[in-house]
Amino acid sequence: MKFSLAQFFPLLLLLLGSVASAAAASNPPRLNVLHIVSDDLNDNLGAYGHPVVKTPNLDRLAARGVRFARAYCNYPVCNPSRVSFLSGRRPDTTRVVTNETPTRAYLPEVVFLPEFFRQQGYRTIKVGKIFHTGPGDRFEDPRCWDVDIRENDTAKKPPARQILRKQGGGGIVLRAPDEDTWDGFVARKAVALLEEAVAAGQPFYVAAGFRRPHTPYIAPEKYYALYHPDALTPRFGPPEHLRKIPDLALSYKLPKGPRFPTERPGDTMAAYYAAISFMDAQAGVLLDALDRLNLWDRTVVVFHSDHGYHLGEHGGLWHKLNLFEETTHVPLIIAAPGRKPAVATGLVELVDLYPTLVSLCGMKVPAGLEGTSFVPLLAQPARAWKRAVFTVVSRDGVSFQPSKEYDPKYIGRTVFDGRRRYTAWPDGTAELYDHQNDLYEYANLAAESAHQAEVAEMKKLLRDGWPAALPAK
Among residues 35, 50, 73, 132, which one is catalytic?
132
Q: Which of 54, 88, 59, 64 is nearest to 74 (CA)?
A: 88
Strands (E), 280-404: 299-305, 310-311, 318-319, 329-330, 332-335, 342-344, 348-349, 389-394
Q: How far apart are CA 440 and CA 314, in angstroms?
A: 9
Q: How far apart are CA 321 and CA 401, in angstroms?
A: 10
Q: Which of 369, 366, 411 is nearest to 390 (CA)?
A: 411
The residues near 134 (Cβ < 8 Å, ≥ 6 apart) are 140
Q: How far apart are CA 388 and CA 461, in angstroms?
A: 8
DSSP 206-254: EEEEEEEESSSEEEEHHHHTT--GGG-------GGGGGGS-GGG-GGGS
The residues near 5 (Cβ < 8 Å, ≥ 6 apart) are none
Question: Is 144 a catalytic site residue?
Answer: no
Q: How far apart are CA 442 and CA 242, in angstroms?
A: 8
Contact 299, 337 (CB under 8 A): yes
Among residues 78, 304, 329, 361, which one is catalytic?
78
Within 10 A of 9 (CB to CB), how many other CB atoms are there?
Answer: 11
Distances (CA, A) of 149 to 34, 39, 337: 16, 17, 28
Question: Is 78 a catalytic site residue?
Answer: yes
**Alpha-carbon dihedral of residues 414, 418, 420, 425, nearest 10 degrees?**
0
Q: How far apart are CA 339 and CA 335, in angstroms?
A: 7
Q: How far apart are CA 131 and CA 141, in angstroms?
A: 8
Question: Phi, psi at residue 142, to the nearest 5°?
Answer: -55, -30
Catalytic positions, please? 78, 132
